[in-house]
């Protein structure tokens, strides 16, 4: 997996857009330059069953239109059923080798990690990329782990130089550069894009901050 794929990793569910049309938010974010999208449909009032499948398919079609990988959070069966590009699992969501057996050799597998031990275990088990965090305090997840800070990002990046690492948790446009400079391949954001009135403009600014730190060149 190319590290550029995770430069700006957008995560969204129908309940994270502040009442705005989630498909409109996603399309604007795609126009703004997000490089990967994860559907994370969790929490109160979220979609299930056929409604979730229909929404996931609509998200997938948008991502295909913009040539951006479409990842499903946790729901392996849904990812397989709709032909998603990947699935993202947490530490409690199953063994990576078992997930690989279910999804086949071509689907991307991402894993949430919170420390060096989990990151190395995910890499050894064949994860295509890892999410590492929360780097900063976050309000977007009710079950967030303790903050790990930039030092942990640097430590994991030094130990796993070939693995795409996505920093996640409380990352704003102002903080994105520090996460990249610490060694992350990209940043994952929820509210920094979906909570903004103009998700396209928010994505443009966030991607600019990431690319400036990666290349030294402004967009």
- Range(s) of the domain holding residue 95: 3-215
Closest alpha carbon to 191 in 145, 136, 153: 136
Closest alpha carbon to 9 in 217, 218, 190, 212: 190
Average pLDDT (204-213) is: 97
For the chain, the domain total comes to 1
**Mean pLDDT, the chain, integer:** 95
Contact 209, 173 (CB under 8 A): yes
Instruction: State the pLDDT at residue 75.
Output: 96
Length of the chain equals 219
List the catalytic residues: 40, 112, 141
Instruction: State the pLDDT at residue 219.
Output: 67
Q: At residue 74, what are phi and psi to the nearest 5 degrees?
A: 70, -40
Q: Three-class SS of residue 99?
A: helix
Tell me the CA distances in angstroms from 26 to 6, 118, 122, 124, one per residue in order. 16, 30, 29, 33
Confidence of residue 17 (pLDDT cuts 50, 70, 90): very high
CATH number at residue 115: 3.20.20.70
Confidence of residue 218 (pLDDT cuts 50, 70, 90): confident
User: Residue 39 and residue 88: Cα distance in Å, rounded?
Assistant: 9
pTM for this one?
Answer: 0.96
Tokens of 6: 């995770």
């Amino acid at each position: 997996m190319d590290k550029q794929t995770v430069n700006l990793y957008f995560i969204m569910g129908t309940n994270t857009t502040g009442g705005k049309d989630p498909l409109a938010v996603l399309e604007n974010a795609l126009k703004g330059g997000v490089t990967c999208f994860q559907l994370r449909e969790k929490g109160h009032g979220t979609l299930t069953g056929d409604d979730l499948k229909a929404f996931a398919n609509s998200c997938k079609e948008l991502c295909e239109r913009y040539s951006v990988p479409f990842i499903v959070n946790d729901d392996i069966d849904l990812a397989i059923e709709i032909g998603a590009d990947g699935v993202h699992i947490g530490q409690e969501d199953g063994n990576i080798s078992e997930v690989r057996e279910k999804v086949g050799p071509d689907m991307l597998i991402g894993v949430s990690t919170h420390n060096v031990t989990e990151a190395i275990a995910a890499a050894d088990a064949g994860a295509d990329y890892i999410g590492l965090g929360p780097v900063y305090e976050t309000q977007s997840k009710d079950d967030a782990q303790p903050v790990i800070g930039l030092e942990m990002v640097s430590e994991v990046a030094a130990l796993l130089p070939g693995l795409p690492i996505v920093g996640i948790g409380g990352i704003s446009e102002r903080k994105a550069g520090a996460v990249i400079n610490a060694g992350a391949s990209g940043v994952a954001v929820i509210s920094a894009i979906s909570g903004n009135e103009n998700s396209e403009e928010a994505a443009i600014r966030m991607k600019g901050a990431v690319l400036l730190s990666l290349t030294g060149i402004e967009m």
